């Protein structure tokens, strides 16, 4: 037996317990968006608070810009505990936790202010709890604001007719494919990171997203028309791996929840500023913003709301009642 090594392995835990230091739990946080993006800034600030308030028991590392993979991959890693925290779009959660699809339905929120009221209230917490209570192995803590999604394309979309036959990228959720198809286009699912080259090579004619994403992921370089369809207003859950959550003490869990909720409010302010500056930059880069009559788009997607909304009729009524 190697006496030296045995002594060493014995000595390390003793040294830690003598000095009262437990091994710090390292939190790796994943976000597809680049540094400086509102979600990433709010998450980094959240991480600083976590580290400061945990007396060195928690460390925090931000992995922005999608370096840990697509949102689907990140969710899988978080389920396994290989990634400890992440912010993802609700779009990719829907196929696994169908109950969240009530927020993923086209035109379910009247406007952004309505969506914010809903996520700040009891319905928002109920949907987070659905994620936590599912078999998903995730604990959903708070919401980030992802603004309003509109269609952008190589050729202008002024009416439903213009959308006919256009291949429009959506997130990997059948509900979104059905939504684009109901409007007359061809919905096509792919990861966020593939959109730029798909636009460039003409694999797709367009996509749909908010102004900050269109700008920061450079999609505007190959799609110069932005039609204000406003078909989706998607909030984005901030989640922790359940394996990580269960390693935390009740005090640490309370701390994580508190700083995550604070990040929700902080990101909102950053979001509004970023949305406005993104719109200005897109226009300066030659993107034409097109005001469309939303009514035909709303009417065309009635079948999607009827199909996906059927199990959630009571909740939809409650959402509509939020003023």
Tokens of 178: 């059905």
**171 near ligand BDP, rule: CB under 6 A:** yes
The interface region with ligand BDP, picked from 207-215, 246-254, 255-263, 298-306 by CB under 6 A, is 207-215
Q: Which is nearer to ligand BDP, 84 or 278 (CB)?
A: 278
Kindly state whether residue 210 participates in binding ligand BDP, applying the rule CB under 6 A.
yes
DSSP per-residue string spanning 234-286: EEEEEEEEHHHHTTS-HHHHHHHHHHHHHHHHHHHHHHHHHHHHHHHHHHHTT
Residue 142 or residue 248: which is nearer to ligand BDP going by CB? Answer: 142
Q: List the x/- string, 211-240, binding to ligand BDP by CB under 6 A.
A: --x----------------------x----
Shortest distance (Å) from residue 76 CB to ligand BDP = 15
- Map the footprint of ligand BDP across residues 272-311, applying CB under 6 A: none
For ligand BDP, the closer of residues 77 and 171 by Cβ is 171
Element (DSSP H or E) covering residue 144: strand 138-153
Q: How far is CA 175 from CA 143, 295, 297, in A?
A: 21, 20, 15
Q: How far is the CB of 13 from ligand BDP (least distance, A)?
A: 41
Does 89 interact with ligand BDP (rule: CB under 6 A)?
Answer: yes
C-beta closer to ligand BDP: residue 84 or 192: 192
Q: How far is the CB of 193 from ligand BDP (least distance, A)?
A: 8
The neighbour count for residue 109, using CB atoms within 10 Å, is 24
Which residues on adjacent β-strands are paired with residue 87?
238
Site for ligand BDP, residues 1 to 60, rule: CB under 6 A: 32
Q: Note whether 248 and 26 are within 8 A (CB).
A: no
Contact between 146 and ligand BDP per CB under 6 A = yes
User: Is the Cβ of residue 39 or residue 54 nearer to ligand BDP in the bound state?
Assistant: 39
Of 14, 23, 136, the closest CA to residue 74 belongs to: 136
Which residue, 77 or 209, is less far from ligand BDP as judged by CB?
209
CB of 32 to ligand BDP, least distance (A): 5
Contacting range for ligand BDP; rule: CB under 6 A; set: 40-48, 178-186, 208-216, 311-319: 208-216
Question: Burial code of 124-147, b = ≥16 C-beta within 10 A, e = fewer?
Answer: beebbebbbebebbbbbbbbbbbb
Site size for ligand BDP (CB under 6 A): 11
Rounded least distance, CB 222 to ligand BDP, Å = 16
Stretch that binds ligand BDP, among 106-114, 206-214, 299-307, 310-318 (CB under 6 A): 206-214
- Return d(Cα 102, Cα 298) in angstroms, integer: 16
- Cα–Cα distance, 90 to 92 (Å, whole number): 6
Q: Is 125 helix (H, G, I), strand (E, B) or coil?
A: helix
The 8-class DSSP code of residue 61 comes to E
Please select the residue that binds ligand BDP; options are 101, 179, 209, 244, rule is CB under 6 A. Answer: 209
146 or 184: whose CB is closer to ligand BDP? 146
CA pair distance 213, 190, nearest whole angstrom: 15
């409650």: which residue's tokens? Answer: 318
User: Could you tell me which of 206, 210, 223 has the C-alpha nearest to residue 274?
Assistant: 210
Site residues (CB under 6 A) for ligand BDP?
32, 71, 88-89, 146, 171, 192, 209-210, 213, 236
């Amino acid at each position: 037996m190697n006496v030296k090594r045995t002594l060493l392995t014995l000595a390390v835990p003793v040294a830690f317990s003598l000095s009262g230091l437990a091994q710090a739990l390292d939190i790796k946080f994943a976000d597809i968006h680049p540094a400086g993006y509102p979600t990433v800034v709010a998450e980094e600030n959240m991480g600083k608070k976590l580290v400061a308030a945990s007396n060195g028991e928690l460390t925090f590392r931000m992995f922005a810009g999608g370096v840990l993979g697509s949102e689907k991959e990140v969710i899988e890693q978080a389920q396994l505990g290989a990634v400890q925290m992440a912010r993802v779009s609700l779009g990719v959660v829907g196929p696994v936790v169908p109950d969240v699809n009530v927020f993923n339905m086209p035109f379910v929120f009247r406007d952004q202010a309505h969506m914010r009221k809903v996520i700040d209230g009891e319905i928002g917490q109920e949907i987070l709890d659905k994620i936590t209570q599912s078999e998903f192995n995730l604990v959903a803590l708070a919401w980030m604001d992802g603004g309003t999604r509109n269609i952008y394309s190589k050729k202008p979309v002024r009416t439903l007719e213009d959308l006919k036959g256009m291949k429009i990228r959506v997130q990997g959720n059948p509900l979104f494919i059905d939504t684009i198809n109901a409007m007359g286009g061809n919905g096509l699912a792919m990861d966020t990171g593939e959109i730029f080259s798909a636009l460039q090579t003409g694999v797709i004619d367009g996509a749909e997203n908010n102004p900050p994403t269109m700008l920061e992921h450079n999609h505007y370089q190959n799609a110069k028309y932005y039609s204000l369809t406003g078909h989706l207003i998607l909030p984005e859950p901030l989640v922790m791996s359940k394996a990580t959550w269960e390693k935390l003490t009740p005090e640490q869990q309370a701390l994580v929840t508190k700083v995550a909720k604070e990040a929700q409010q902080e990101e909102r302010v950053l979001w509004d500023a970023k949305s406005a500056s993104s719109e200005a930059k897109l226009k300066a880069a030659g993107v034409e913003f097109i005001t469309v009559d939303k009514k035909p788009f709303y009417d065309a997607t009635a079948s999607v709301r009827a199909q996906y909304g059927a199990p959630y009729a009571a909740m939809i009524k409650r959402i509509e009642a939020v003023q």
